[in-house]
Amino acid sequence: MTTKQKASSKSASNSGIGIDVKDLKVHYDTPDGVVKAVDGVSFSLRQGERMALVGESGSGKSTLAMALMRLTRAPGRIAGGQVIVGGQDMLDLDEEEMRLQRLNEVALVPQGAMNSLNPVMKIKNQLLDGLYDHQVRGDDKMSKEDQIQVVEKLLNAVDLAPGVAEMYPHELSGGMKQRVAIAIATSMQPRIIVADEPTSALDVVVQRNVMQTLGRLQEGLHASIILIGHDMGLVAQFSDHVGVMYAGRLVEVGPVKTVFKSPKHPYTRLLIKSLPTLSNKKEFVGIPGLPATLLNLPEGCAFCLRIGKETPTKIPWVKVEKDHFIQECKTCANYGN
């Protein structure tokens, strides 16, 4: 099957839910107990939409991204849940089946492209390496000539000259390396693109150009994007939906405009209040306390622990309005208002 035929095949099924994550758990076993880095996260994303995951460092965003790709390594382990893409639960696949799903169905744009590219391989070989290693065997295997043509097309798609194919990573700028990482991630036309802080090491002008390129490719593929990031401005401009993570759990999920305009969870309110604005001068409001430890974390509200309160019972998910949900804790609901 050629790349064009494969794209048509995917396009025909690119409707409805792109990814459905159910009760996903990632634990780290330590001598002191279990660290619940991702604790029962559930969300779904329609095909072609963009969702951002935000939260402080250590909230579980990147751990979640690695779990979606089945790239969690010891001492971490995926302790439960489902990750359904194209009707298939990624967690039910064996290692070989999952390897073939990467780049084909789910792809990663890594954090810090300068550390993810092989320094002693030319760019063309790194692009071809992904195609050789992850293409489905049998009738779906493309010829070498087709793959070489795809390399040039991929470089053109991310606004890089064909000559970049013969260069090594150290010869590229930070923005060019990130574009190569995007080219690799989109080389097999995946349904889902997981972008883990793809612009964290770039200046603001290059950030904008890289995100525009990523957005354009995503729209062309009708893929879904899960963006991991700290830059709330970038999230507000790029995403359709936003999920706020705290202590390994999702505490609020909703349309990005709704959540930024009217946040309902106290942690989300404080996170947004901590952002600087150009419209009016105001005193910065920090989030008090420290994030809850993830070691032997109780079932109750993790944010209550941060503000010196306690809710021992499991916190229910409540629908605020269409597509807008929060973990509603009565104890801390009005904190930060």
Sketch the domain layout of the chain as residue ranges.
3-239, 266-337
List 34's β-bridge partners, or say none.
29
pLDDT in tens, 291-314: 888 988 888 999 999 998 988 888
Cα of first residue to Cα of last residue in the chain, in angstroms, is 57
| pLDDT on residue 19 | 96
Whether cis (ω within 30° of 0) applies to the bond prior to 312 is no
Contacting residues for 5 by C-beta, under 8 A, at least 6 apart? none
List 253's β-bridge partners, or say none.
243, 325
Q: What is the DSSP letter of 231?
A: -
Low-confidence ranges of the chain (pLDDT < 70): 1-15, 136-142, 147
Contact 14, 218 (CB under 8 A): no
| pLDDT on residue 10 | 53
CA distance 248 to 305: 14
**How many C-beta atoms lie closer than 10 Å to residue 75's C-beta?**
10
| pLDDT on residue 146 | 78
- Write the Ramachandran bin of 55: left for phi over 0, alpha for psi from -120 to 50, otherwise beta: left
- Tokens encoding 109: 């744009």
| pLDDT on residue 288 | 84
Counting every residue written for the chain, the total comes to 337
| pLDDT on residue 145 | 77
pTM: 0.89
- Supply the CATH classification number for the domain 3-239: 3.40.50.300
CA distance 244 to 267: 8
CA distance 155 to 178: 12
| pLDDT on residue 311 | 87
